[in-house]
Amino acid sequence: MESAIMNILDNTSGYNINQLLRRLIFNYPDLGLTFNDLDKVSSKLIELGIDLPTTSYINNKDTLYDSYTRSVVPEDDYVKICSNTTRTECTEDCQKVHFQPIIRPYSDHALGHCSYLNTCYPFYNNAPPTLSNAFQPAKLNSPRLDRTCKYLHFQLESPSESAIEQADYQTKRRKKCRGDGLRQELDTILGSKRYPAQYINCDLRSFDYNTLGKFQIIVADPPWDIHMSLPYGTLTDDEMRKMPMSTLSEEGTLIFLWVTGRAMDLGRECLSIWGFKRVEEIAWVKINQLQRLIRTGRTGHWLNHTKEHCLVGMKVSDPDASDIQWPEWLNRGLDTDVIVSEVRETSRKPDELYGMIERCCPVGRKVELFGRRHNGRDGWLTLGNQIGEDEVYDPELSQRLNERYPEKGKLVVGR
């Protein structure tokens, strides 16, 4: 380790301990270091008489590692939105993007802002614009706007030239980071093959999970029966308890289970039945189009719910044991347990969770259950009954599926 440290520090200056550890992991895999070995590296630096800061505020990340941390990017276009919301409330020389009200003959200023804003189904007819398409004229002047909501709604104004240049720069940078060349280079460094996004359309209540194999990461957003009218089918409590999660998991597997308010206790019960021990809980704080806390939600029997919970469990041999043996591949302490993100379509969860998972588990197989097409991403297998066309690139998985489900027809194995 000593020669590796000296070689890195001789070639590059300005490193902190965390950055040094990353370079040791990526450049010297023979050392067998993980992100949990920060103390080991710190001790070695003390022996060598080298003093490095523990954190750094220099915005100069390594390109390869940056591409890894940005392996999940929710939007191609990124612009800074002014906290003053509208330009009338801001200074004239502000180069950030602002919101402007959508004025229709039936709009009533006296009513104020619509509580649902761009998730107002009557106003947008189930097709609210997102930040990624908000600048497209077809979305700004959509003929689908309905006349049933008279409250004020907003759209992003056309960005200034400087904002457009910044968005173009970010788009090119992210496309470069997500290119096949860097993905293959990361595959080599991490010793793992990341197939393009794979999809299987199926009924998860009756699907044969034995065809899928074992996974290190499981994400599930079940259609819990919350005793409310929903635009999709739900599973009963007993059907959830009987889900064969143990077939997909092995000791050390992490599961990220989204739960509703009513299903909080049921979710914990399911984790125990499936052989998982709850080790964490992530809270998603929901904000609206104007980047403010949601005041009116569509769920909640007593209070409007402005947050949602994701239970994190780990497959263990003894759920009652007090000591947890964390898997070697797990990188702990990189993220917080709170996600602040804008709401989108019904039941769609924040993309930030996937980035969090990729950072804590850069290698290994990952599967999402009860997913839709928009959930797919490189290195993941997504299953659900609203997926559409099957798409499988793993040849071994394709062979098992073809043998088990010949009626589906031969699944095409891609690159």
Q: Please tell me what DSSP assigns to residue 158.
A: P
Closest listed residue to residue 259, CA positions, set 205, 235, 223, 216 = 223
Collect all residues with Cβ–Cβ distance below 8 Å to 300 and sequence separation of at least 6: 261
Q: Which of 152-156, 194-198, 328-332 has the highest mean pLDDT?
A: 194-198
125 backbone φψ class: left, alpha, beta (φ>0; ψ -120 to 50): left
Residue ranges and CATH numbers for the domains of the chain are 1-56 (no CATH), 190-405 (3.40.50.150)
Lowest mean pLDDT among 29-33, 60-64, 310-314: 60-64
d(CA 16, CA 329): 22
Q: Please tell me what DSSP assigns to residue 101.
A: E
Beta strands in 266-305 (DSSP E): 276-287
Q: How many CB atoms lie within 10 A of CB 315?
A: 24
d(CA 399, CA 213): 12
Is the CB of residue 380 less than 8 Å from the CB of residue 394? no
The size of the chain, in residues, is: 415
d(CA 212, CA 411): 14
- Output the pTM of the full model: 0.67
- Whether the predicted pLDDT of 12 surpasses 90: no
SS3 278: strand
**361 Cα distance to chain centroid:** 13
Buried residues in 124-155 as b, exposed as e (16+ CB within 10 A): beeebbebeebbeeebbebeebeeebebbbbb
What is the mean pLDDT of the segment spanning 318-324?
Answer: 77
SS3 286: strand
Tokens of 152: 């004020």
d(CA 385, CA 408): 14
Collect all residues with Cβ–Cβ distance below 8 Å to 19 and sequence separation of at least 6: 56, 62
Lowest mean pLDDT among 2-6, 81-85, 341-345, 355-359: 81-85
Closest listed residue to residue 379, CA positions, set 177, 172, 184, 221 = 184
CA angle 309, 154, 169 (to 5 degrees): 80
What is the mean pLDDT of the segment spanning 225-233?
Answer: 66
Confidence (pLDDT) at 369: 96
What is the mean pLDDT of the segment spanning 36-65?
Answer: 61
d(CA 273, CA 245): 9
Residue for token pair 């992210």 = 174
Confidence (pLDDT) at 130: 44
What is the mean pLDDT of the segment spanning 103-122?
Answer: 76
| CA–CA distances in Å: residue 293 to residues 75, 115, 142 | 21, 11, 26
Give the confidence band of 26 by pLDDT, cuts at 50, 70, 90: low
Lowest mean pLDDT among 110-114, 115-119, 148-152, 237-241: 115-119
- Whether the predicted pLDDT of 136 surpasses 70: no
Confidence (pLDDT) at 14: 60
Tokens of 15: 């490193």
Give me the sign of the Cα torsion angle 341, 344, 350, 352. negative
Tokens of 201: 């359309």
Is the CB of residue 355 less than 8 Å from the CB of residue 71? yes
Dump pLDDT digits (tens) for 271-307. Answer: 999 999 999 999 999 988 888 887 765 566 677 778 8
- φ and ψ at 81, to 5 degrees? -100, 130
Say which residue, 225 or 134, is predicted with more confidence.
225
Q: How many CB atoms lie within 10 A of CB 383?
A: 22
Report the amino acid identity of residue 147: R
- Whether the predicted pLDDT of 190 surpasses 80: no
27 backbone φψ class: left, alpha, beta (φ>0; ψ -120 to 50): alpha
Lowest mean pLDDT among 25-39, 135-149, 355-369: 135-149
- Helix, strand, coil percentages, rounded to 5, for the chain: 30, 20, 50
- Whether the predicted pLDDT of 187 surpasses 90: no
